[in-house]
Structure 1
Amino acid sequence: MEFSYLNPTQIEFGQGKISSISSLIPKDNKVLFIYGGGSIKRNGVYDQVINSLEGYNFFEFSGVEPNPTKETLDKAIKLAKDEDIDFILAVGGGSVIDGAKYVAHSYYYEGDGWDILEGKYISEKALPIGAVVTLAATGSESNTGSVITKAQTKEKRFFRSVHSFPKFAVMDPSVLKSLDDRQIKNGLVDAFVHTCEQYLTYKQGRIAQDNYAEGILRGLITLANSVDNRDDLWYANLLWLANQAFNGLIGAGVTQDWATHYIGHELTGLYGIDHARTLAIIQPNLFRVLKEHKAGKLLQMGENVFRIDTTDPDIIINKIEELYKSLDIDLKISDYTDDKEVKEKVIPLLIKHGFSKLGENQIVDTNIVEKVLDKSM
């Protein structure tokens, strides 16, 4: 068990914490304030941010999509360069924060920012980022990852960099109250699958990481079971659980999976399906195809998370699927698209992106992906 663990992001958690922005960004910095659509103007977050930026020289960039596109973000890069920006403030969910990371890394690069996603350019520095979280799902506010879509080719790619850690993350649970049921339930699923990708592999003897992961999973199940009775503490727990699911801690020194995510990314890029919903579609069927390889961890999850004593991994897979159904998630690709050639499009994209072998054991090849997609149609 060998690893290096770093998480330098300062967390400001609690109601009213947006006002702390003024003490977290140097006063002499020129700030690029990046956000998505109009939701932050409707729920009062925009006004709080503007008040916190009083006295700063700042510029606004809006319109970052739920699946942030290169095409939109390239405009933000130009604005940042034209105005000699020193600091990026991302206000939104994971998509806005991911987009800010792309802008921050592209700022010092004279070529096409998409080169970062394709691994043609490895950045050695990036603009500093601060995040105000308005959606609990991805943990992007305190991790190194970023997922960006190229609308022109319908490709969805990711990159990671130690320079992507936000300097700070402001997490006010009361902001989540303005979200609709679909966004809340998507966030629950996203956090649940993030945890599973690091946990549901094979037994590795990582006692702390296993126990942390199982605690997060139990917590998310508790929230899923009470999703219709949300109070202040419910929102606070979701916001923190989603952060803990993917801030690097439970994955430290652990061999991880992520096959569900890579397949799901292609489905979102091609068909615009909500990211969390692609995960819910693919994950149970991937487990069914790989149940012999994942049986040990599935049964451990059954015992320690679902409190089920069984020797049949199918029972645990079904429990996971039932959880997603209880959140009103449609679990077939055909629920979202009439395209009959999903396999013929997804598999070549995976190969193109260097993902011909996936999973913790690198055994998820194109034949297995085809079986998973067949079960998912």
Structure 2
Amino acid sequence: MQFSYSNPTRLHFGQGQIKTIAQEIPLDSNVLVIYGGGSIKKNGVYDQVADALKEHTWKEFSGVEPNPTKETLDKAITMAKEHNINFILAVGGGSVIDGSKFVAAAACYEGESWDIMVGKHTVTTAVPIGAILTLPATGSESNSGAVITKRETNDKLPFGSKAVQPLFAVLDPDVMKTLPERQLINGVVDAWVHTCEQYLTTPTSAKVQEGYAETLLRTLLDLGNRYDSRDSDEWRANLMWSANQALNGLIGTGVPQDWATHMIGHEFTALWQVDHGRSLAIVQPWLLRNQMDVKRAKLEQMGRNVFGLEAGDDLAERTIQAIEAFYHGLNVATQFGEHGMTHSEAVDTVVNQLDKHGMTALGENKAITLKQSREILEKALV
């Protein structure tokens, strides 16, 4: 293992922590508060933010949708430039935080904002960001990545830059109390797959990373199995912290990473507006079966150490079945049949999108070509 690791985001975890933003954001800042559909005005979060910023100068931008779009975010970028915004506070889940990262980067760039997503502009400077997390799932509150959709062309692409990593993040589990069940479940699944993408590759000697990944998986498995206990401080706090730790960079440091499930799943969301977490659950089991030969050892390790399965020649397949059972226990499907196309049309459409976006050599071994993606989609799409 050879690596450099730093996570500079300060995390304020626990009940009542929203007030800490008053000290985190300099008083002379011109702040833009970015949020989603308005749920923060119903659950008390908006009032807490307003109280904490009562000595600050701030404006607000609302309407960032799930799977944030360039079209909406361009309006926030214009606002940031017109009002000389020099600090952005993202209040929401991964979509709002991802969108705020895009705004922060594009506000410091005079060209077309989508240049960031297609590599025409490398982000080296951005408006500073802070985050108040309301939906645990993506870990975006303490990492440097974001995923943005261009609605006009059904393109959903990732970008990353150290310049857009939040300076601080507030994680108060109390804000989860009013979340819809669908969003809670999506958060469990998203955190689970994030962990898998950094773990289900090839065996390594990185005992800390592998052991911590298994701890996170066992925790998420327990939370999913105890979903009926979701209305408790303990359940909420453990999900919020697990989702953060799943993608803050630690468990992926110094080990192979996959991310093919995400790249294929992004196309489902862009084309058919499938919830991000649910797109992952559709793709993952079939991708694991397709890549069984290279992932067998890690699947067997997961079967033993996460699910407690007994040894046997079919352990890897039984592990995949256990993953499917985990999803099904949360009423999350592992196949998608609501695409409104014939089976062959749907498969061809996703493959063409992957080709268009250069997703032609995915996985830790770059071995998932369009041929393998097609084989995966033949099973995932019904």
TM-score computed with the length of structure 1 as normaliser? 0.99
AA in 1 matched with 2:155: E
- Map 1:344-355 onto structure 2 (within 5 A): 344-355=348-359
Q: Paired residue for 1:8?
A: 8
For residues 204 and 15 of structure 1, the distance between their equivalents in structure 2, rounded to whole angstroms, comes to 38
Match of 1:277 in 2: 278
Aligned residue runs from structure 1 range 77-116, under 5 A? 77-116=77-116
In structure 2, the gaps of 5 or more residues are none
Report if aligned partners of 2:88, 2:100 keep a CA contact under 8 Å in 1.
yes
Q: Which residue number in structure 2 is paired with residue 360 of structure 1? A: 364
Q: For residue 323 of structure 2, what is the aligned residue in structure 1?
A: 320
Instruction: Tell me by how many angstroms 1:310 deviates.
Output: 2.3
Task: Show CA shifts across 1:123-165 (max 9, x none).
Answer: 1111100000000100000001100000001110010111121
Note the aligned Cα RMSD (angstroms).
0.7
Query: Could you say which residue in structure 1 is the equivalent of 2:311?
Result: 310
Q: Is 2:218 the counterpart of 1:227?
A: no
SS of 1:34 mapped into structure 2 = strand
Which is worse superposed, 337-346 or 281-290? 337-346
Q: Following TM superposition, by how much is the alpha carbon of 1:17 offset from its aligned partner in structure 2, in angstroms?
A: 0.4
CA contact (8 A) 2:142 2:166 kept: yes
Report what 1:338 is aligned to.
340
SS at match of 2:198: helix
Tell me which residue corresponds to 2:332: 329
Q: Following TM superposition, by how much is the alpha carbon of 1:342 offset from its aligned partner in structure 2, in angstroms?
A: 1.6
Instruction: Tell whether 2:373 aligns with 1:372.
Output: no
Partner of 1:117: 117
Who is 2:204 aligned against? 204
Deviation readout 1:271-321 (Å, 9 max, x if unpaired): 000000000000000011111110000000011111112232110000001
User: Aligned letter for 1:152?
Assistant: E
Partner of 1:253: 254
Amino acid at match of 1:163: A
Structure 2 matches for 1:181-200, cutoff 5 A? 181-200=181-200
Question: Which stretch has the larger CA shift, 340-349 or 159-168?
Answer: 340-349
Deviation of 1:331 (Å) = 2.1
Residue identity in the other structure for 1:103: V
Aligned to 1:333, what secondary structure does the other structure show? coil
Structure 2 distance, partners of 1:160, 1:124, is: 10
CA distance, structure 2, for counterparts of residue 351 and residue 204 of structure 1: 31
* CA distance in 2 between partners of 1:86 and 1:243 (Å): 26
By how many angstroms is 1:217 displaced? 0.2
Quote the Cα distance in structure 2 between the aligned partners of 1:92 and 1:140: 11
Q: Structure 1 CA distance, aligned partners of 2:225 and 2:181?
A: 14
Q: Which runs of no fewer than 5 residues in structure 1 stay unpaired?
A: none
Tell me, in whole angstroms, the C-alpha distance in 2 between the residues paired with 1:242 and 1:16: 20
Structure 1 counterpart of 2:224, which letter?
A
Q: How much has 1:93 moved relative to structure 2?
A: 0.1
Q: CA deviation at 1:333?
A: 1.5
Distance (whole Å) between structure 2 residues aligned to residue 209 and residue 122 of structure 1: 30
Give the deviation of 1:201 after TM superposition.
0.4
Contact 2:339 2:346 in 1 (8 A): no
Q: For 1:216-246, what per-residue CA distance to the aligned partner results, in whole angstroms no more than 9, with x for missing partners?
A: 0000001001111121110000000000000
Tell whether the 8 Å contact from 2:131 to 2:170 is kept in structure 1 after alignment: yes
1:353 CA displacement: 1.3
- Distance in 1, Cα, partners of 2:339 & 2:356: 23
- The one-letter code matched in structure 1 to 2:319 is I
The more displaced of 243-252 and 346-355 is 346-355
- The secondary structure found in structure 2 opposite 1:228 is helix
Query: In structure 1, how many angstroms separate the alpha carbons of the residues matched to 2:123 and 2:276?
Result: 26
Structure 2 distance, partners of 1:158, 1:361, is: 20
CA distance in 1, matches of 2:261, 2:311: 25
Q: Which one-letter code corresponds to 2:239 in the other structure?
A: L
Counterpart-to-counterpart distance in 2, 1:240 and 1:71: 32
| Mapped partners of 1:181, 1:97: distance in 2 | 21
Amino acid at match of 2:320: I
User: Retained in 1: the 8 A contact 2:64–2:72?
Assistant: yes
Give the distance between the partners of 2:242 and 2:253, measured in 1 at CA: 17
Counterparts of 1:40-79 in structure 2 under 5 Å? 40-79=40-79
Q: Indicate the percent of aligned positions where both proteins have the same amino acid.
A: 54
Instruction: Determine the C-alpha separation between the residues in 1 that align with 2:79 and 2:26.
Output: 20
Q: Secondary structure at the residue paired with 1:130?
A: strand
> Are the counterparts in 1 of residues 30 and 86 from structure 2 also a CA contact under 8 Å?
yes
CA displacement 1:335-368 (0-9 Å, x = unmatched):
x322221221111211221110100011101111
* In structure 2, C-alpha distance between the alignment counterparts of 1:349 and 1:337, rounded to whole Å: 15
Partners of 2:119 and 2:205 in 1: how far apart? 33
Cα distance between partner residues in 1 of 2:65 and 2:89: 16
- AA of the residue aligned to 2:217: L
Partner of 2:142 in structure 1?
142
